[in-house]
Amino acid sequence: MDSTRGPAAWLRRVAPVSGAVGGLVFFGYWSVRAREVTLPPLAGALLDVATFLLLGTAVLGYLLAEGLDTGSWVGWAGFTVLLQGLLYSPPAVCFGFVLLGISIARSKVHPRAPGALLAASGLALLWTVYYSSGFDRSHADLGLVSKAVMGAALVGVAAALVDLLLLEHDPDGHLGEPRHVGGA
């Protein structure tokens, strides 16, 4: 079967751009959800759907590029937890990013640095969820340290996804083509 056609090839090509845009949209999504900011119903629904679809497409493309290596189950678990978290649970989103970061860092397909950054950012976001008074409530008092940690973590998530876009740009100008990093 030709690996340059079909849905899997399309996902691998679209994943880096979707990840970069999804990382930026996630920044807004998390900021709005952390303070329970009331958006107009249509704007809130569009933000939720855009975040879910962009991050879902990006992560699925990265996982398909990894294939079914021995440790790829960590990434698939992270994918499942991330999408479930976007629907129901902020801590699950954090755990999803940690698992995905570990999977990306361990794979021989993607560069390690964005994976490590994604995992560290997921842990930092988890810290803000548990140590911030009133997280996801309109009266949220995040405090200066929590705001700084949350901001840095959100920038880290967006940067990790943008780094995957930039680092997977091959010299021939093809975006998102999986490349093997490190060993055989």
The rounded mean pLDDT for the chain is 80
What's the domain range around 163?
A: 6-167
Cβ-contact 48, 86 below 8 angstroms: yes
Flag whether pLDDT at 173 surpasses 60.
no
Q: Is residue 81 situated within a structural domain?
A: yes
Flag whether pLDDT at 171 surpasses 60.
no
- Please give the Cα distance from 50 to 35 (Å, whole number): 19
Q: Is residue 21 situated within a structural domain?
A: yes
Q: What is the mean pLDDT of residues 1-17?
A: 71
Q: Residue-wise over 117-141: b if at least 16 C-beta within 10 A, else e? A: bbbbbbbbbbbbbeebeebeeeebe
pLDDT in tens, 118-140: 999 999 999 988 877 656 665 56
pLDDT in tens, 56-82: 888 888 888 777 776 778 888 999 999
Q: Is residue 183 situated within a structural domain?
A: no
Q: Is residue 181 situated within a structural domain?
A: no
- Please give the Cα distance from 98 to 156 (Å, whole number): 12
Residue-level pLDDT at 20: 84
Residue-level pLDDT at 136: 63
Number of domains in the chain: 1
